[in-house]
Structure 1
Amino acid sequence: MESTHEPADPVAKGVLATAKQSWHDLFNFKQRVVVTNELGEPRAEWARPVPLRNPISLLAQLSGRDWLFFIVGFAAWSADAFDFHALSIQQVKLAKYYNTSKTDVSTAITLTLLLRSVGAAMFGLAGDKWGRKWPMVLNMIVLGVLQIATIYSATFSQFLAVRALFGLFMGGVYGNAIAMALENSPADARGLMSGILQQGYSFGYVCAACANLGVGGSDESWKTVFWIAAGISIGIGLIRCFFPESQQFIEARKARKAGTAQGGHTASAFWKETKMMLAQEWKLCIYCIILMTWFNFYSHTSQDSYTTFMLTQKELDNSGASRASILMKAGACVGGTILGYASQWFGRRRTIILAALVSGALIPAWILPEGERSLSATGFFMQFFVQGAWGVIPIHLNELSPPAYRSSFPGLTYQLGNMISSPSAQIVNAVAESHFVKSRSGARAEAYGPTMGVATAIIVLGIVVTTAFGPEKRGREFEKALPAGMNVVVDQGSKLDDLEKADTREANKPGMAEAEDVGGVAVEKK
């Protein structure tokens, strides 16, 4: 960000005042920042976003170590998505295998999403306290073991129990993966890297759809897809064992050994700072949970039952539906990368709102066509914008997060949103199976298309409104933030400073810009 030195109104306080200010700022291409002069006096002014740079030059900014962390985070997030979609794209097969309805099978999706928030809290806090490495290793290996346990579930009740436990461990992946992948990326490359990273989810879906296409449509072929998923998860967990810890925690250990760390890193210090963070940031936590609830409804409603929609209402065979699903998610990979990159200049919130509105306009073209080619094309463009909006989310959540909680905060708010939206696939299946339309052949078919279309339109409206009145902290400086527990002085029973000032303290160290916005956007001090 480049300061214009043009004075701006002070940052609003309170929910309604902040919402009003956020709405007006949405239509100002400049960004409101708070800069601090030599005397420590803050003032608000406008900053101009730096024009987009050549994406190749942005990628070149990452060092070999940065790429290592990014690739491992991307791989873990992709495996997480493969594990999840191994079930969602095979609902028809599983319903036949267990002799039950597709709505009953989607109960497993609901249980998985419900318990992901518990795993996000457990493993996110572990990642903030002990590092990103070993919580992720445990996550990935246990996920693989639970995929195998799913294969050997003899009854539907056993199947549901295993998938519930699966959700607990699945929830811990996201927070640690995005923190590890993005925390060391250069500030002006984060939008691009966020867009690429989020598409690990779409890439995992594509891989699962390819596996489903390869194994065929027999009732028991779903087991092969689960074996593949198990191998990928366990493999990534084992590979992660041989890579180093996050640089943030390596530097923190060095500081503790040298006696230069400001605070403690004991359990007492960690929990004390966590309580302080929640007391100061609870409104932001609630906002992010609401935002992620809408976003999780957005993705699950538009994708989890889409293969079922093509198999039933559109009467495609397993191969055709799988190919269309692959092309649909290829669009997601492209859209998420491009729009995540554009958000670095256009703004996080404006990019999300524009992508959501375009996806809403595409709903008729998404559900009305017949035939594999038409459905593949419209699915491509629909997911281009659905996942285009999602491509902004990893860096948007990281920038909104309290600096010391970039593993637990994004992971927990994301998974709590997942928990609230967990019945999405079940709702779509239940409504579709109780209402009917005529298929292409004139046969009576379950109304998956109209159900997904109406639900997605409502969700788009919710995303636009929530995003328009919410905060944005684009460009926040958080690379030098101390880990949780090291920003308080436990033996004195008082905090070093409030958490926002602690963030400012880091930004104002020699060699760094002496400024930050409401969310820590560094602006060069003149």
Structure 2
Amino acid sequence: MASITSTVWASLPRLPAKSERVIQRNPIKLIRSLTWLQFAFFFSGWFAWVCDAIDFFAVTLSAARLAPYFHKTLSTVTLSITLTLLFRPLGAFIFGMLSDRYGRKWPLVANLIIISALSLATGFCKTFSAFLACRSLFGIGMGGIWGLAVSMALENMPVDARGLFSGFLQLGYPVGYLIIAAVNLNSRVAKETGWRPLFYTGAAFSLTGAIIRLLLPESQYFLERQAARQREGDQTATSKKSVQFIRETWKMLKTHWARCIFAIVLMTGFNFYSHGSQDLYPAYLTNDKGLTSHQATVATIIGNCGAITGCTIGGYVSQYLGRRITMICFCLFCCAMLPLWLLPSSFSGLAAGAFLVQAGVQGAYGVVPVYLSEISPVAFRAMWPGVAYQIGNMVSSASAQIEATAGAKLKDPKTGKPAYGRVSAILVGVAAGVVILCCLFGDESHSAHFERGRAAFEKDGGLDVVDDGQAAKTYPESTQGDEEKAEDIQRDHLRA
């Protein structure tokens, strides 16, 4: 009993070591510490994530116009959203494995070109069957973006800046929504037959993202790992490297299977947490609160501004409070703001509630990219976090149907209308509880130097091994000075 108690106590989140708390560093100084190449890598990953959001929300914003065009009900049209979410784990696995094996550049370029072509093809669909086929294939392409963007952006980032830029990276999703929502507010696009420009916009953004990544070199991490192999005189043939990669993948699964399950449970909770606050929010405002569609759209945009604010703050303070404590604090803040999300009847009150709740939701979510990168097997930081993220998305794909069904049964006693708001608040609260439990008893590797780990095509890459044979996430206090020197050397190398 005592051993169980001590184990539970040891797993609880704590503040990071003093050497890792960089909250006293002005964020402007953190931003200025990056080289132009590090900025370019980050921007490329961030822009890819923005493109992902633009392409995804094009369907949700045009669903009401797609239904009469294809002569289907709204619930039938939303099947395309579910299919997109269901196929995303497959894309995360395929493109993640390609990225961990062959590098960050070409898999991401190909990924963006594929979703650009599929988004363009969606705009040309004339039958509902063709539309569903395009969106299903699009789900495979879309699933690869997050893992590739996160791995490339953060592995080239100074360790003490990763928290801040994790928040910046995740806020690319609400930024993408704001861009496509602004396009959707155009009077011509808003017409019943004007849904196609939304998909053309998505195709143009994704193609631009592919061009941006094409102009940049391979990730510094992969260049250094290839150089290390050459210094060791490793001239293994390409076919044998692929065999080695498969072996290391198997080693990783045997070694880290429990952590894989934990990440999937965490991201399932996170995706229910996020989708519960978003999917039926416009319907809640129009049906429960009597707002117009235009007011609901504006309130949703204000909520996304709160999401951007939360992502920025959450990522930054996680460098001081730690990843898990930060996520717990923002989940508690979100739950405390739910009454303001539910009780007001005026537009201003509801908009304020949307801003604060989304700040809480996305404040916790802004820590996810760096948190998953730090606890993932170091050689599989494109595939492993991406698959966990997208499986969580797949499991939560039914959240809208759950809310709609429960809301229709749990009606408001005064008006007799579906209580979408109350059901959404319950779902958000339960999901926040799941995330908090995961954070209380999960793993954390704050400020892990995963950029020193071996790549997946190297021997023992699946065992989190660095060049000196030590565990990539374990650094004794006596080596702290050496870590700082190594970090300085790495920055000077990147500047050169």
TM-score scaled to structure 2, two decimals? Answer: 0.89
* TM superposition shift of 1:158: 3.0
The reply on whether 1:149 has 2:121 as its aligned counterpart is yes
Write the mapping of 1:100-111 to structure 2, written as runs, cut at 5 A: 100-111=72-83
- Aligned mates of 2:420, 2:349 — CA distance in 1: 17
Are the counterparts in 2 of residues 397 and 410 from structure 1 also a CA contact under 8 Å? yes
Which ranges of 4 or more aligned residues in structure 1 deviate by more than 6 Å? 262-265
* TM superposition shift of 1:297: 1.0
- Aligned mates of 2:134, 2:95 — CA distance in 1: 19
Are the counterparts in 2 of residues 102 and 429 from structure 1 also a CA contact under 8 Å? no
- The equivalent position to 2:198 in structure 1, one of 220, 225, 245, is 225
Cα distance change of structure 1 residues 344 and 98 upon mapping to structure 2, 3 Å threshold = same
- Aligned mates of 1:516, 1:286 — CA distance in 2: 26
The amino acid that maps onto 2:15 is F
Unaligned runs of 5+ in 2: 484-496
The amino acid that maps onto 2:133 is A
Partner secondary structure for residue 201 of structure 2: helix
* TM superposition shift of 1:437: 3.5
The amino acid that maps onto 1:390 is Y
- Aligned mates of 1:467, 1:331 — CA distance in 2: 23
The reply on whether 1:342 has 2:317 as its aligned counterpart is yes
- Aligned mates of 1:334, 1:400 — CA distance in 2: 25
User: Deviations along 1:263-296, whole A, 9 cap, x unmatched?
Assistant: 8871011111111111100000000010001001
- The equivalent position to 2:66 in structure 1, one of 94, 101, 115, is 94
The reply on whether 1:478 has 2:450 as its aligned counterpart is yes
The residue that corresponds to 1:35 in the other structure is none
The amino acid that maps onto 2:11 is S
Are the counterparts in 1 of residues 274 and 428 from structure 2 also a CA contact under 8 Å? no
* TM superposition shift of 1:212: 1.6
The residue that corresponds to 1:468 in the other structure is 440
Unaligned runs of 5+ in 1: 1-11, 32-45, 489-494, 509-513
The residue that corresponds to 1:29 in the other structure is 15
- Aligned mates of 1:166, 1:130 — CA distance in 2: 23
- Aligned mates of 2:52, 2:101 — CA distance in 1: 22
The residue that corresponds to 1:286 in the other structure is 261
- The equivalent position to 2:153 in structure 1, one of 181, 185, 193, is 181
* TM superposition shift of 1:66: 0.4
User: Deviations along 1:352-371, whole A, 9 cap, x unmatched?
Assistant: 01101111121121133224
Cα distance change of structure 1 residues 522 and 499 upon mapping to structure 2, 3 Å threshold = farther
The residue that corresponds to 1:380 in the other structure is 355
The reply on whether 1:363 has 2:338 as its aligned counterpart is yes
TM-score scaled to structure 1, two decimals? Answer: 0.84
The residue that corresponds to 1:329 in the other structure is 304
The amino acid that maps onto 1:228 is T
* TM superposition shift of 1:159: 2.3
Write the mapping of 1:422-441 to structure 2, written as runs, cut at 5 A: 422-437=397-412
- Aligned mates of 1:522, 1:192 — CA distance in 2: 25
Partner secondary structure for residue 449 of structure 2: coil
Partner secondary structure for residue 446 of structure 1: coil
- Aligned mates of 1:375, 1:521 — CA distance in 2: 53
The reply on whether 1:516 has 2:475 as its aligned counterpart is yes
* TM superposition shift of 1:61: 1.5
The amino acid that maps onto 2:90 is V
Write the mapping of 1:285-324 to structure 2, written as runs, cut at 5 A: 285-324=260-299
- Aligned mates of 2:201, 2:464 — CA distance in 1: 45
The amino acid that maps onto 2:30 is L
Are the counterparts in 2 of residues 107 and 426 from structure 1 also a CA contact under 8 Å? no
User: Deviations along 1:140-199, whole A, 9 cap, x unmatched?
Assistant: 111122122222333333322221111111000011101111101111111101011110
Are the counterparts in 1 of residues 34 and 158 from structure 2 also a CA contact under 8 Å? yes
The residue that corresponds to 1:163 in the other structure is 135
The reply on whether 1:201 has 2:173 as its aligned counterpart is yes
- Aligned mates of 1:75, 1:521 — CA distance in 2: 40
- Aligned mates of 1:471, 1:62 — CA distance in 2: 29
* TM superposition shift of 1:114: 1.0
The residue that corresponds to 2:492 in the other structure is none
- Aligned mates of 2:219, 2:286 — CA distance in 1: 44
The residue that corresponds to 2:217 in the other structure is 244
Deviates more, 1:298-307 or 1:69-78: 298-307
- Aligned mates of 1:61, 1:312 — CA distance in 2: 49
- Aligned mates of 2:28, 2:21 — CA distance in 1: 19
Cα distance change of structure 1 residues 212 and 328 upon mapping to structure 2, 3 Å threshold = same
Write the mapping of 1:376-415 to structure 2, written as runs, cut at 5 A: 376-415=351-390
* TM superposition shift of 1:134: 1.2
The reply on whether 1:137 has 2:109 as its aligned counterpart is yes
Cα distance change of structure 1 residues 161 and 426 upon mapping to structure 2, 3 Å threshold = farther
Are the counterparts in 1 of residues 163 and 367 from structure 2 also a CA contact under 8 Å? yes
The amino acid that maps onto 2:343 is L
* TM superposition shift of 1:16: 9.0
Higher normalized helix content (fraction of residues): 2
Deviates more, 1:389-398 or 1:56-65: 56-65
Partner secondary structure for residue 97 of structure 2: helix
Cα distance change of structure 1 residues 182 and 291 upon mapping to structure 2, 3 Å threshold = same
Are the counterparts in 1 of residues 101 and 457 from structure 2 also a CA contact under 8 Å? yes
Partner secondary structure for residue 516 of structure 1: coil
The residue that corresponds to 2:487 in the other structure is none
Are the counterparts in 1 of residues 15 and 320 from structure 2 also a CA contact under 8 Å? no
The residue that corresponds to 1:5 in the other structure is none
Are the counterparts in 2 of residues 146 and 162 from structure 1 also a CA contact under 8 Å? yes
The reply on whether 1:128 has 2:117 as its aligned counterpart is no
The amino acid that maps onto 1:201 is Y
Deviates more, 1:191-200 or 1:322-331: 322-331
User: Deviations along 1:293-322, whole A, 9 cap, x unmatched?
Assistant: 100111111112222322333333333222
* TM superposition shift of 1:438: 7.6
- Aligned mates of 2:366, 2:59 — CA distance in 1: 23
Partner secondary structure for residue 125 of structure 2: coil
